[in-house]
Structure 1
Amino acid sequence: MQPEVPPQAVRESGMVSKALGEVLVRVQNVAAHAAVSRPVRLVAVSKTKPVEMLQEAYDAGQRVFGENYVQELLEKAPQLPGDISWHFIGHLQSNKAKAIVKSIPNLQAVETVDSVKLANLLDKAVTEAEWQRKLNIFVQVNTSGEESKFGVDPADVLSLARHVHTECPGLTLSGLMTIGMPDYTSRPENFECLNNCRSTVAEELGIPAQDLELSMGMSGDFEQAIEMGSTNVRVGSTIFGARNYSNK
């Protein structure tokens, strides 16, 4: 028996692929004129959305999806094609690190590493899972200075990045990530801060700056983020519509 499709998914059928196409055009147009070091990756953020909507985006060609909640990721990933690249973009509790690595073999990146403890647990989980590849890691930076936001202080980025790069053989330091302001938009100074952090990390670790990605920009500001060097944008509501937190 086919699972019942939620009414919201039926109502919005066809709209996801249209919105996705429009976002991709916007990303490509901005990237064509921006000084980015590589093609810009669009992460379709699907939190609170049913798998039917994700499948529609997949059928339209999208292959990179992001989830904020561990339980949603654990529930959705097995129901969707195995060639999806999953990015975890929410706060990851230490006791959930092993679960997402063990259960999601197509987990490509954790964008929210903000402690040595979490890095070590993810590294250990990759080893225990006997992956034949490394897990991509972004160090999350609190560029807005808000106490309510996770992420390391800009002054502590180098220390954590060095640890991931030199002490965690199962992990790849892919870049840096920021959320931005309390309303989940960012100001130019947030983007500039992350850029400056990347320059410091690259110089100190002897890594070409272009090899370190910048994950910044969401639905409200992804075009500005690309203009300022983002190579990984996380777009949710503009593709999937307003989120439903009634079950959260």
Structure 2
Amino acid sequence: MAAPVAAEGAVVAAFRSVMMRVRHAAERSNSQLDRIRVVAVSKTKPVSMIRQLYDAGHRSFGENYVQEIVEKAPQLPQDIEWHFIGHLQSNKAKTLLGGVPHLAMVEGVDNQKVANHLDRVVSTLGRNPLKILVQVNTSGEASKSGIDPSNCVELAKHVKSCCPNLVFSGLMTIGRPDYTSTPENFQCLSKCRMEVCEALEMDEEQCELSMGMSSDFELAIEMGSTNVRIGSTIFGPREYTKKQE
């Protein structure tokens, strides 16, 4: 029994180390620490590890697979702020929202079809409006989900004007295959925010930037990220034992 306890204790220690690094990055960039959200991404990790961080006071958690989040969320307290991260197939919207009634945010919507499906499902379920971030492909990789930066204004406008059950809350990007991003990736997303906020007549402080993961979250914060998604640095290497979707 001693081994699992030791492993979970290490997770809490790793999280505290991450929070110290977040604080230092915020200080270097004169950013407000209370405006930076750390989403602990628990992909492939057991509910027991999530519970350890919850008991330590953390509330923001994220998953990348619909199957995992709908299995885990019912086993944990309802005041967890769940984020679904990455490309969502439109036919999974009902499963996701039905299985996680208190889902806080989808990061990120990358086309109008997904936005429309989410909007209809939220309306059908009668739940509170759902916050979404538009996913932008800032690295130009053909294999990566996300809308082209030149089209982010159009998609943001669509969500704002045609999806009354969704709340456009900002933009997100996913790093390169090795989970690192260059300053250019982050600069691209910041430019998209400026264009979107001008088009929608929004204050930039109301438009989140979700960028930065385990390998690059400090640089992301220094370049204006308000939401970082950290998995392996907190929970350890991921363990893929079966196909997820």
Over the aligned positions, Cα root-mean-square deviation in angstroms equals: 1.5
Shift of 1:10: 4.7
After superposition, what is the alpha-carbon deviation per residue over 1:26-63, rounded to whole angstroms, capped at 9, x for unaligned? 11221133254661000000000000011011111110
2:114 corresponding residue in structure 1: 118
Q: What TM-score, normalized to structure 2?
A: 0.95
For the 8 Å contact 1:89–1:112, the answer to whether it is kept is yes
Whether 1:69 and 2:92 are equivalent positions in the alignment is no
Q: 2:25 aligns with which of 16, 24, 30?
A: 30
Deviation, structure 1 residue 166:
1.1
1:162 aligns with 2:157: yes
Preserved CA contact (<8 Å) 2:59 2:80: yes
1:136 is aligned to 2:115? no
Q: Please say if 1:244 is aligned against 2:239.
A: yes
Distance, in Å, in 2 between the alignment partners of 1:202 and 1:213 is 11
Q: Where does residue 174 of structure 2 map in the other structure? A: 179
C-alpha contact 1:142 1:180 (8 A) present in aligned 2: no
Contact in 1 for aligned 2:179/2:216 (Cα 8 Å): no
The structure 2 residue matched to 1:107, chosen from 99, 103, 125, is 103
CA distance in structure 1 between the partners assigned to 2:211 and 2:31 by the alignment = 13
User: For 1:171-227, what per-residue CA distance to the aligned partner results, in whole angstroms no more than 9, with x for missing partners?
Assistant: 111100000212221000000000000000000110111110000000000000000
Conservation of the 8 A alpha-carbon contact between 1:9 and 1:50: no
The reply to whether residue 59 of structure 1 matches residue 59 of structure 2 is: no
Unaligned runs of at least 5 residues, structure 2: none
* Structure 1 residues 202 and 8: alpha-carbon distance in aligned structure 2, compared to 1, 3 A threshold: farther
Question: Which blocks of at least 5 consecutive residues in structure 1 are unaligned?
Answer: none
Rounded to whole Å, the distance in 2 between the matches of 1:145 and 1:8 is: 43
- Equivalent position SS for 2:35: coil
Q: Which residue of 1 aligns with 2:80?
A: 84
CA distance in 2, matches of 1:246, 1:104: 23
Q: Name the SS of the counterpart of 1:220 in structure 2.
A: coil
Corresponding letter in the other structure for 1:192: Q
How many corresponding residue pairs? Answer: 242
Amino acid at match of 1:180: G
Q: Does the CA-based 8 Å contact 1:139-1:175 persist in structure 2?
A: yes
Aligned amino acid, residue 66 of structure 1 = G
Alignment correspondent of 1:232? 227
1:68-94 C-alpha deviation (Å, 9 max, x unpaired): 000000100000111000000032111
- d(CA) in 2 for partners of 1:182, 1:196: 22
User: What's 1:149 paired with?
Assistant: 144
Contact kept in structure 2, 1:114 and 1:151, CA below 8 Å: yes
- Counterpart for residue 204 of structure 1: 199
SS at match of 1:156: helix
SS of residue paired to 1:174:
strand
Equivalent of 1:18 in 13, 19, 42: 13
3-state SS of the aligned residue for 1:15? helix
Provide the rounded CA distance (Å) in 1 between the counterparts of 2:192 and 2:207.
11
Q: Deviations over 1:99-151 (max 9, x none)?
A: 111221110000120010000110111111111x2111000000000011000
Match of 1:216 among 208, 211, 223: 211
The one-letter code matched in structure 2 to 1:88 is F
CA contact (8 A) 2:175 2:213 kept: no
Cα distance in 2 for partners of 1:95, 1:190 equals: 30
Kindly provide the amino acid, as one letter, of the partner of residue 62 in structure 1. Answer: H
